[in-house]
């Protein structure tokens, strides 16, 4: 069984448990105030394994499943027997990194809460885009497939715009920082991926 599937199973079980027992959700959610005041830093990670509802869980895990397999295949080539550890470093640390900006920004705001695997999923998605920049992707509400590197630019611009506007309840800041972590991780772990990324894009023109 792939590590992507294992993480999906764990996330589904944790989300279901939190829905059945609200006290678990209250304990695991990223409440920046509690994380800071009571040193409950574990919330920066546990919040990535619970979700608001079935739709939230489905879309995050569906995207994770699609791109996780791509990244796992590449990591098997890059890291061999350490591929699982590298993948966990990408995904788990991605969740934490994506929550840090909100932790800093909202640590005195007792009403702020955040949950979901979006930061980790964004890390995996953008790592996959670096490895395969010409893969065809779509971004809602634009129904036209576009190369992965164009998708990345649009996604980042959209996340910055929506974060500034604060028009919905989606944590766009977590998406953005998860994406940044995914890109930074693969460039540091495999510096040649930057050269391959540039060459693939150049060859597409």
Question: Which one-letter DSSP state was computed for residue 50?
Answer: -
Residue by residue, pLDDT tens for the chain (205 residues) are 899 999 999 999 999 999 999 999 999 999 999 999 999 999 999 999 999 999 899 989 998 998 999 999 999 999 999 999 999 999 999 999 999 999 999 999 999 999 999 999 999 999 999 999 999 887 666 678 888 888 888 877 877 777 677 655 557 788 899 999 999 999 999 999 999 999 999 988 8
136: left (phi over 0), alpha (psi -120 to 50) or beta: beta
Helix/strand/coil for 38: coil
- Using the structure block, give the residue that is written with the tokens 């705001």: 109
116: left (phi over 0), alpha (psi -120 to 50) or beta: left
Sign of CA dihedral 173, 178, 183, 184: positive
Task: Write down all domains in the chain, each with its CATH number in brackets.
Answer: 3-203 (1.20.1540.10)
Helix/strand/coil for 58: helix
Q: CA 3, 159, 59, 57: dihedral to nearest 10 degrees?
A: 80
């Amino acid at each position: 069984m792939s590590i992507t599937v294992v993480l999906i199973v764990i996330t589904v079980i944790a989300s279901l448990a939190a829905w059945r027992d609200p006290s678990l959700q209250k304990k695991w959610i990223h409440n920046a105030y509690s994380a800071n005041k009571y040193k409950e830093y574990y919330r920066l990670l546990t919040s990535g394994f619970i979700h608001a509802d079935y739709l939230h869980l489905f879309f995050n895990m569906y995207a994770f499943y699609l791109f996780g397999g791509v990244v796992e295949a590449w990591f098997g080539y890059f890291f061999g027997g350490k591929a699982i550890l590298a993948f966990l470093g990408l995904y788990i640390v991605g969740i934490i990194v994506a929550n840090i900006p909100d932790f800093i920004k909202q640590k005195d705001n007792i009403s702020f809460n955040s949950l979901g695997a979006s930061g980790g999923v964004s890390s995996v998605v953008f790592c996959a885009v670096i490895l395969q920049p010409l893969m065809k992707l779509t971004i809602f509400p634009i129904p036209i497939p576009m190369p992965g590197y164009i998708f990345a630019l649009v996604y980042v611009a959209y996340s910055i715009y929506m974060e500034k506007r604060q028009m919905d309840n989606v944590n766009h800041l977590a998406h953005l920082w998860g994406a940044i972590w995914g890109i930074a991780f693969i460039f540091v772990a495999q510096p040649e991926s930057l050269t391959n990324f540039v060459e693939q894009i150049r060859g597409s023109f």
